[in-house]
Copies of this chain bind each other. A is one copy, B any other.
Amino acid sequence: MAKATIADIAREAGVSVTTVSRFINGNFGKMRPETRQRIEQTVARLDYRPSASARRMRQQRTHVVGVIVGDISNVFSSLLFKGIYTQLQPAGYDVMLMNSNNSVDEERDEISRLLSQEVDGLIIQPDCKRFSAYSPIVSATIPLVMVDREPDDQPGDIAKVTVDNHGSCRALAGLLAEHGYENVVALSNIRSEISAQMPRLEGLRAGCDEHGMLMIPVEANGHDTQWLTQELRALTGRLAGRTALVSLMGPMLFDTLEALRELGLRFPEDVGVVSFDDWRWSQYVRQGIHLLEQDPQRMGQEAAANLLEQMNADADPYAFAKQTTLPVAEIPAPSI
């Protein structure tokens, strides 16, 4: 037997489709209890489920939200998604998840697919530095929240949830200066046009300037760990004064530790080590590592909460757009 439709239920229960429709939508107001019961039983008997396709066609809403992340295998992304899902599911929204692989091209395609899907809202960890890549979304007046990264020319009325990348890194420089460090090696691995690591680099730079420390950026993208090892060997061998390594993203810390092990360098004795981390996995490494921690799940929740407000708006959703900057937590450990 083919999938039951609202007409089947109506026929079997001996009522009209209108009445069944009212039942489906919990509109029991004007319905005799016996009618209601009869429909209830028929629905159960035929295992009827209303067709979402037909509903979204008829209504102007899909109750689907699209989410695009840079790399779902990164813990940041999965925690972000969890936060989003936790908010959206109870609100009656289903979520389509897409992985852009940090590629502008894939992202463009995915936005297009999501627009075709007529999603009610969009949460994006953006890849593209030009906001024009996202203007089709705005043209269609679809609620939108940007997360983690920020296109250069993003309009002020587009929502975003970021953390205080610049400020936290600037403050970190101060701390390192207090600890007597004179050199700061900033280890980044930037794989997309824009990255949260960029404001972190700037913040570190600003802080180092303020405290008269030498700041050396090392960009690892495209290189292997062997290269990093060489690089660190050269640097640590040549720098006068104490040096701190700052890993500007969680996974980068892996490679850094690998390199340190190969070089036989210990921390904090030989070098200081600090890292951004979304997950605190590194607490199990030796005595633990001084961390700058963001809370991706919270970011997801905030983003979804604001998206819901936009989606509930009667008129212009962007009037409800909020720009949120969350704090970065400092988790001290004796690695500096």
Q: Interface of A with B (CB < 8 Å)?
A: 3, 47, 49-54, 56-57, 62, 64, 72-73, 75, 77-79, 81-82, 85-86, 89, 94-99, 112-113, 115-118, 136, 139-140, 254, 257-258, 261, 281, 284-285, 297
CB–CB B96/A49 < 8 A: no
Q: Is the interface of A mostly helix, strand, loop or mixed?
A: helix
User: Could you say which residues of chain B place their CB within 8 Å of the CB of A47?
Assistant: 136, 139
A124 nearest CB across to chain B (Å)? 15
Given contacts A62-B53, A116-B50, contact A89 B85 (CB under 8 A): no
Measured in the bound complex, the distance between the Cα atoms of B336 and A276 in whole Å is 32
CB–CB B56/A53 < 8 A: yes
Nearest B-chain residue to A297, judged by Cβ: B73
User: Could you say which residues of chain B place their CB within 8 Å of the CB of A96?
Assistant: 64, 94-97
Measured in the bound complex, the distance between the Cα atoms of B72 and A201 in whole Å is 30
User: Could you say which residues of chain B place their CB within 8 Å of the CB of A82?
Assistant: 72-73, 99
Known: A47-B139, A95-B98. 7 other contacts (CB 8 A): A73-B297, A77-B78, A85-B98, A89-B98, A94-B98, A97-B97, A284-B285
Measured in the bound complex, the distance between the Cα atoms of B98 and A89 in whole Å is 9
Nearest B-chain residue to A288, judged by Cβ: B261
User: Could you say which residues of chain B place their CB within 8 Å of the CB of A85?
Assistant: 72, 97-99
CB–CB B62/A73 < 8 A: no
Nearest B-chain residue to A285, judged by Cβ: B284
Measured in the bound complex, the distance between the Cα atoms of B251 and A105 in whole Å is 35
CB–CB B53/A57 < 8 A: yes
Measured in the bound complex, the distance between the Cα atoms of B81 and A97 in whole Å is 10
A266 nearest CB across to chain B (Å)? 13
20 contacts between A and B (CB under 8 A): A3-B140, A49-B116, A51-B57, A53-B62, A72-B78, A72-B81, A72-B82, A72-B85, A73-B79, A77-B78, A85-B98, A89-B98, A89-B99, A95-B96, A95-B97, A95-B98, A258-B284, A261-B284, A281-B281, A284-B285
Measured in the bound complex, the distance between the Cα atoms of B118 and A52 in whole Å is 7
- 7 A-B pairs with least C-beta separation: A78-B78, A97-B97, A53-B56, A53-B57, A52-B117, A49-B116, A73-B82
Measured in the bound complex, the distance between the Cα atoms of B95 and A98 in whole Å is 7
Measured in the bound complex, the distance between the Cα atoms of B62 and A113 in whole Å is 13
A210 nearest CB across to chain B (Å)? 33
Given contacts A77-B78, A112-B49, A118-B53, contact A284 B257 (CB under 8 A): yes
A301 nearest CB across to chain B (Å)? 13
Nearest B-chain residue to A83, judged by Cβ: B73
Nearest B-chain residue to A117, judged by Cβ: B52
Residue among A72, A254, A284 with the highest chain B CB neighbour number at 10 A: A284
Nearest B-chain residue to A109, judged by Cβ: B89
Nearest B-chain residue to A71, judged by Cβ: B82
Measured in the bound complex, the distance between the Cα atoms of B201 and A197 in whole Å is 43
CB–CB B284/A254 < 8 A: yes
Nearest B-chain residue to A97, judged by Cβ: B97
User: Could you say which residues of chain B place their CB within 8 Å of the CB of A112?
Assistant: 49
Measured in the bound complex, the distance between the Cα atoms of B97 and A297 in whole Å is 16
User: Could you say which residues of chain B place their CB within 8 Å of the CB of A89?
Assistant: 98-99
User: Could you say which residues of chain B place their CB within 8 Å of the CB of A116?
Assistant: 49-52
